[in-house]
Structure 1
């Protein structure tokens, strides 16, 4: 009975994690589109994240995971490429406009300016809380709905590699992707110190935290057996440890928003 409950809980959490990762890129892609700039995102952050997703995809293929999981890994890689394409497209666009006008590129609005400042200061905190609460409830509802529709296929909601395919190469891909996902946050954190988080969507990291947390919990809910946890240690590390860095990024958002509001009041 307890085993059945654990399997179901693992599957539900896994599906919620997948729902988070499906929508995680959308806020930043929209942010770049609305600002016509991708300068709020560190290129090195996306490149390292892309390398981690490629290794994750390779590990999924090598481990023989379910086709759905392989498709998702390919989806993550595609979204990384879309983010890079946006960044370089808007750089090319602004460089071309600046060249035609004979003006320095810095004069072309990118992520700073009155419009961006007004947008942040005119959004009440209660509205932000409401948005994120609705987003949280949405991904949870989608995850539970997906689990209900796929009841009887518990493995679909979990991305961990099968124990029967636990080769050293699969483990290498797992630990390497974990190291890359951790390292990717560092250049973004440093960039935030310069840009004060302008042009960066906090929803990207909100969904990342939720997705990584539910994914790690889905592994633990399935089994707390020592050998099972060791088998999935790379994936647990990649999910669990990045949560702390993503929380740090959200703290940067809060800090810079507060200092900007204080500066305007003065």
Structure 2
């Protein structure tokens, strides 16, 4: 059903375009830049198959998910859900749709693992409290984001479904960016990134960067950029925040190593 919607909604007359891409992906590729956009979008899709695996393994190895903020996970899931719905309704690039579908799958897997370890470790009440608080905050963010819809432009959006999809894209971007804040705060509070997988963030950075680059190369002009702005903000903005998390990792690790070295030297002085 989704595939039928994509091909019917996205396929437009495409003179001089790449026939097989137009036929199977519903995307009009008429020049080398658009072709690069298409392939980079596919690379982004492939990259998104891998980020959850290191974190799933890290959680399994530790027997818990204590290093990952539930706010980060839940906002991630809500952001991906709105991202997919918005991309479908506003007829974004087909590669954006395919990436969005896989987002939902991987989010569901990692959230199920989080809930499993929380219940297994008898933290059920804590989990319920966390999810309740997170849901409330995310609803508040959603309500606030609705005020941004006044920025819509008639030259960019066409019809009620288009506007609804665009609004979902805006809220999705807010969830993506806002979901990183609790993780950054948790890392600062613990002065550690223990429990979170750095390879996951490396791969998310690469996938988001390719996703954003694919959208940027997909067209030109002010209207094109405005139409795709929520998705660009959600992807490239996450690249920036994920870079901060990676910086935290190396910063805290360096400080811990220096502290341990100082303690060893102090202990050696006492022995002598």
With the length of structure 1 as denominator, give the TM-score of the two structures: 0.68
Q: Which of 181, 189, 204 lines up with 1:186 in the alignment?
A: 181
In the other structure, the counterpart of 2:5 is none
In the other structure, the counterpart of 1:246 is 242
Structure 1: gaps of 5 or more residues: 97-161
In the other structure, the counterpart of 2:258 is 262
Q: Which has the higher Rg, Structure 1 or Structure 2?
A: 2
In the other structure, the counterpart of 1:152 is none
Contact 2:180 2:241 in 1 (8 A): yes
Contact 2:51 2:203 in 1 (8 A): yes
Q: Cα deviations across residues 65-115 of structure 1 (Å, max 9, x unaligned)?
A: 68875454233223222222222222222339xxxxxxxxxxxxxxxxxxx
**Is 2:35 aligned against 1:8?**
yes
Q: How many pairs were matched up?
A: 201
* CA distance, structure 1, for counterparts of residue 218 and residue 77 of structure 2: 28
**Is 2:110 aligned against 1:83?**
yes
In the other structure, the counterpart of 1:53 is 80
* CA distance, structure 1, for counterparts of residue 175 and residue 195 of structure 2: 23
Q: Which of 164, 169, 175 lines up with 1:169 in the alignment?
A: 164
In the other structure, the counterpart of 2:219 is 223
- 1:63: how far off? 3.6
Q: Cα deviations across residues 185-220 of structure 1 (Å, max 9, x unaligned)?
A: 000001112331111001121111111111111122
Change (3 A) 1:61 1:3: closer
* CA distance, structure 2, for counterparts of residue 245 and residue 69 of structure 1: 21
Contact 1:58 1:173 in 2 (8 A): yes
In the other structure, the counterpart of 1:234 is 230
In the other structure, the counterpart of 1:199 is 195
Contact 1:163 1:228 in 2 (8 A): no
* CA distance, structure 1, for counterparts of residue 95 and residue 218 of structure 2: 19
- If asked which structure has higher relative contact order (CA below 8 Å, sep 6+), I would say 1
* CA distance, structure 2, for counterparts of residue 68 and residue 14 of structure 1: 6
In the other structure, the counterpart of 2:139 is none
Instruction: Show the 5 A alignment for 1:102-181.
Output: 167-181=162-176
- 1:228: how far off? 0.9
* CA distance, structure 2, for counterparts of residue 256 and residue 229 of structure 1: 38
Change (3 A) 1:66 1:248: closer
Structure 2: gaps of 5 or more residues: 1-15, 17-28, 124-155, 263-272
Q: Which of 57, 61, 65 lines up with 1:34 in the alignment?
A: 61
Contact 2:90 2:163 in 1 (8 A): no
In the other structure, the counterpart of 1:159 is none
* CA distance, structure 2, for counterparts of residue 198 and residue 217 of structure 1: 31
* CA distance, structure 2, for counterparts of residue 220 and residue 230 of structure 1: 11
